[in-house]
A and B are shown apart, each in its own frame.
Chain A
Amino acid sequence: MITAKNLSKVYRIAQPVEGRFGALRSLVRPQYIERRAVDGINFSIEDGEIVGYIGQNGAGKSTTIKMLSGILVPTGGEVRVNGLIPHKDRKAHLHNIGVVFGQKSSLWWDVPVIDSLRILKEMYRVEDKVFQKNLDGFSDLLDLGSFINQPVRQLSLGQRVRADLAAALMHDPGILFLDEPTIGVDVVAKERLRQFILEVNRERGVTVLLTTHDMVDMEKLVNRVIVINAGTILYDGSIQGLRERYGRQRRMELQFDGQCPALVLPDVKTEKMRDGRLVVLFDRNSYTVDEILSHIRQMGTPIRDIVIQNADIEQVVRDIYQEGGRAV
């Protein structure tokens, strides 16, 4: 159970002092500007959920993850993970969580993966039996066996993230924080990571909070999304709900027999393709499909084929970012 109440984080950023002896003056009396990275957010995550935490770079994702994992102390509000305040009960808290950063490994660079796992076993005081059971289990699911004796620096990115996932779960944490776990990983390896995360969630009941830019991750993994923008939460709910709320745009693609007609309607965007196709973008609250089609039929050119698409989640998210949540 994770709860954030009115959680916020303000960074003070030292500003270079302009003018003569600026460097010296900035040492004596530094000037700061404040940046609200996270601005009073509230959410609560139940045990066993998989929650996707999305937002643009700099929206406050990493800051939140850092506060949840106890690396960063909040400026205001409160965060509790399994009843503990992360930065205050740090050691106990760290036993409850596993963290994986897709972009940096938590393993020792020059030593074989298995050595890293063994040292983590000691650090977390994992019992031999538990360690062996987990090692066997993860070897099956993640195919650790094929590279467990290689030093981390020799691993491919996909292998490295697999090793990191295993390392984060060795001490049986109930909660897993994943910061862009699939970034840069190839498609096949990504799928494997997703299967593993689902498996861990299902079999062990591990609660997962993950940040990602990969919308396939969202669709396949997550049953709940939290969208953060400029430090505040824009949306918290199911993917379906997200689509319904923001994804009102429809994309209709028409193939004509002959000359592609011009369609002019208020609030409808059209785009003529080179091969005679016409792409029509419209808001489903303003027009029905039937209205659009009858307008086109009036122009007389026979339609050979039609494809109608939901806005994909990527488009939805792009829209949210661009509008900064004004669509709400």
Chain B
Amino acid sequence: MRTFAAFLKTEQRCMGLYRADFFLKLIYGMIAMYGVRSLWTVLYAQDPAMVGRPLASMTTYAMLAVALDIVFYPSALSTAPQNYISGQVRTGRIDTDLLRPMDLQGQLFARNVGTAVFSILWLVVPAWFMGVLFLGMMLPPGFLWGAGFVVSVALSFLILFSLNFLLGMVCFATTNIKQLTMAYSGIITILSGKLIPNWLYPDWMQAVIRVLPFRCIFETPLNIYTGAVTEREIWSGLLLQAVWGVVLFLAGHLLWGRMHRHLTVQGG
């Protein structure tokens, strides 16, 4: 436990996250949570059937999405692969990464797990706590759902990291990194279910979303937390997340291997 605390302290220093920052981010989170809560309360009053679930469940879904988004916004972490890689490319230091015989993906993953765990504990958990205390956020309906949510968030992180890393690989090939990153963030915002629950989309779009990995990032954990899925569906949801996570992670691994060979042979 003590080593863990020490670890968190160094992470804190690394991220330059100070007390003032912490309170600020908490305040941002609270304002945004208040916003979506108001939105869904009004929409529920307009047409409960269209929302398709109890009001508390819906507002909890939306508020928890906002809380998670503090950390799960694609470029939220300073250590996120695309931030790191595009920074290295811009400053020309990517050469040093290429020269080292190590696995960039593995190293970035380790660092990101560190910052993510830290940020979740210091930003998401307090935001969640405030939500429960002041904004009427529900608790999960049972232990299984709570535990399933925690596992699901971990898997979400794996998927998000892998997608981010793939984006980082694309950063090698383009000069319009800024627009690319924006487009990517936009896609995740729209297709992950964090801004609009996927069940509100037109049927054809839902069909597309179902076969894409993005919904696993927000929709799966949020549905588990709010008890919108049965016990069996928890397992199938987690399984799907795990499959996507492994597939995308491996894809990144292969691509980096290729890229590494290609770039070192060609001299960058």
| A contacting B, Cβ–Cβ less than 8 Å | yes
- The chain A residues found within 8 Å of chain B, CB to CB, are 23
A294 to chain B, nearest CB (A): 64
Does B173 sit within 8 A of A, measured CB to CB?
A: no
Inter-chain CA distance A23–B19, complex, in Å, is 9
Q: What residues on A are CB-neighbors of B20 within 8 Å?
A: 23
B-chain residues with CB within 8 Å of residue A23 when the two chains form the complex: 19-20, 23
Q: Which residues of A contact B19 (CB under 8 A)?
A: 23
Interface range for B: under 10
A-B contact list, 3 entries, CB within 8 Å: A23-B19, A23-B20, A23-B23
Question: CA–CA, A268 to B20, complex, Å?
Answer: 57
Interface residues of B (CB under 8 A from A): 19-20, 23
Q: Which residue of B lies closest to A23 (CB)?
A: B20
In the assembled complex, the CB of B26 is this many whole angstroms from the nearest CB of chain A, namely 13
Tell me how far the C-beta of B21 lies from the nearest C-beta in chain A, rounded to whole angstroms.
11
* Distance A28 CA – B20 CA, assembled complex (angstroms): 15
For the complex, give the distance between the alpha carbons of A77 and B44 in Å. 70
Secondary structure class of chain A's binding surface, majority of residues? helix
Give Cα A23–Cα B18 distance, bound, in whole angstroms.
11
The residue of chain A having its C-beta at the shortest distance from the C-beta of B20 within the complex is A23
The 3 closest A-B pairs by CB, nearest first: A23-B20, A23-B19, A23-B23
- Tell me the smallest distance from the CB of A24 to a CB of chain B, in Å: 9
Residues of chain A within 8 A (CB-CB) of B23 are 23
A23 to B20, CA, bound (A): 8
Least CB separation from A22: chain B residue? B19
State A294–B203 Cα separation when bound (angstroms). 109
Q: Nearest A residue to B18 by beta-carbon distance?
A: A23
Min CB distance B22 to A, Å, is 11
Q: How far is the CA of A302 from the CA of B201 in the complex (A)?
A: 103
- Say how far A280's CB is from chain B's closest CB, in angstroms: 52
Q: How far is the CA of A281 from the CA of B72 in the complex (A)?
A: 68
Q: Complex: how many Å from CA A178 to CA B116?
A: 51
Closest to B23 in A: A23
User: For the complex, what is the distance from the CA of A277 to the CA of B249, rounded to whole Å?
Assistant: 70
Q: With the chains together, A23 CA to B21 CA distance in Å? A: 12
User: How many Å from the CB of B93 to the closest CB on chain A?
Assistant: 23
Nearest-neighbour CB distance to chain B for A17, whole angstroms, equals: 13
Q: In the complex, A170→B12 CA distance in Å?
A: 52
What's the least CB distance linking A25 to chain B, in Å? 13
Compute how far the CA of A23 lies from the CA of B23 in the bound complex, rounded to whole angstroms: 11
Report B129 CB to chain A, min CB distance, Å: 19
A24: nearest chain-B partner, CB-CB: B23
Give Cα A154–Cα B20 distance, bound, in whole angstroms.
38
Give Cα A23 to B24, complex, Å.
12
B154 to chain A, nearest CB (A): 33
Distance between Cα atoms of A63 and B193 in the complex (Å): 57
Closest Cβ–Cβ distance, residue A208 to chain B (whole Å): 42
Closest Cβ of chain A: how far from B25's Cβ, in Å? 14
How far is the CB of B24 from the nearest CB of chain A, in Å?
11
Q: How far is the CB of A268 from chain B (nearest CB, A)?
A: 52
In the assembled complex, how far is the CB of residue A19 from the closest CB belonging to chain B, in whole angstroms? 12
Rounded to whole Å, the gap between the CB of B163 and the closest CB of chain A is 37
Looking at the assembled complex, report how far the CB atom of A262 sits from the nearest CB atom of chain B, in whole angstroms.
Answer: 53
Give A32 Cβ to nearest chain B Cβ, in Å: 20
Q: Within the complex, what minimum Cβ distance (angstroms) separates B64 from chain A?
A: 28
How far in angstroms is the closest Cβ of chain A from B16? 16
The complex places the Cα of A299 from the Cα of B19 at a distance, in Å, of 70
Q: Separation in Å of the B19 CB from the closest CB of chain A? A: 7
In Å, the complex CA distance between A299 and B23 comes to 76
Nearest chain B CB to A27's CB is how many angstroms away? 11
CA distance A27 to B19 in the complex (A): 15
Residue of A nearest to B19 (CB): A23
- Complex Cα distance, B121 from A106, in Å, reads 47
Smallest CB–CB gap between A244 and chain B, Å? 53
